[in-house]
Amino acid sequence: MVVLRAKCIIVGDCTVGKSALTQVFHSDGSHYPKAYSMTVGVELCVKNISIPDSNDAVELYMYDSTGKEMFSDYVQQFWDGPSVVMVILDVTNEKSFSSCAKWLERVRAKAGQAIQGVLVANKMDLDGRRCVTKEAAQEFANGRGLEYFECSAKEQEGVDAPFHYMANAFYKLYQERVEVMKTLT
């Protein structure tokens, strides 16, 4: 049995639902933060994710940072050496979508261009107010090598999928490296 540690940094504009999504996933749905409280600095959540068809697991260290202070040196020191990245947008907020390119560039500048990750469109429960289309978001994700997901932290729909995807992608990369090591020895 192997337990891998993966560091996941969670980025996106203020109020897209970074903290809500992280906390719903972390608590298996028992904790959707009702009152809006702005995250101060960085919050760390850890969750163990079993890898299907194996005895192995990935321990996902999720770093949820605040939109406003995200560019401060204080917050960016937590960005060192991430394994995967989650970029979040709010489907009712066009600006949060256009910011995704900037967030991703910042992360990749630090972490390397090859870092794997997901683009998550949150608040899909607010269908009537939606202004970011699935097609546009999906196309952006594909163009940047990100896997695309839609979810609602509030309705607890589709929350697990992007986190599980990241854990599995990280695990697969690890296995590939192990295979390469074997051919070398």
Residue 154 interacts with ligand GDP (CB under 6 A)? yes
Q: Residue 93: which of Mg ion, ligand GDP, none does it interact with, CB under 5 to 8 A by kind?
A: none
Residue 39 interacts with Mg ion (CB under 5 A)? yes
Place of tokens 């960016």: 76
Task: Quote the CA–CA distance of 148 and 181 in Å, as a whole number.
Answer: 31
Residue 36 interacts with ligand GDP (CB under 6 A)? yes
When binding is defined by CB under 6 A, the residue of 93, 123, 166, 169 that contacts ligand GDP is 123
Residue 153 interacts with ligand GDP (CB under 6 A)? yes
Do the beta carbons of residue 122 and residue 16 sit within 8 Å? yes
Least distance from ligand GDP to the Cβ atom of residue 8, Å: 15
Residue of closest CB approach to ligand GDP: 17
* Burial of 112 (C-beta count, 10 Å sphere; 0-12/13-18/19+): exposed
Residues 15-34 that bind Mg ion (CB under 5 A): 18-19
Task: Quote the CA–CA distance of 67 and 96 in Å, as a whole number.
Answer: 11
Q: Which stretch binds ligand GDP (CB under 6 A): 52-60, 104-112, 118-126, 132-140?
A: 118-126
Q: Is 84 helix (H, G, I), strand (E, B) or coil?
A: strand
For residue 148, count other CB atoms closer than 10 A to its CB.
18
Least distance from Mg ion to the Cβ atom of residue 2, Å: 32
Query: 63 or 171: whose CB is closer to ligand GDP?
Result: 63
Do the beta carbons of residue 9 and residue 79 sit within 8 Å? yes
Do the beta carbons of residue 21 and residue 159 sit within 8 Å? yes
Query: 43 or 51: whose CB is closer to ligand GDP?
Result: 43
Q: Residue 16: which of ligand GDP, Mg ion, none does it interact with, CB under 5 to 8 A by kind?
A: ligand GDP
Cα dist. 177→6, 77, 118, 163 in Å?
15, 27, 21, 21
Least distance from ligand GDP to the Cβ atom of residue 17, Å: 3
Amino acid present at 150: E
Using CB under 6 A as the criterion, which residues of the chain lie in contact with ligand GDP when the complex forms? 12, 14-20, 36, 39, 67, 122-123, 125-126, 152-154
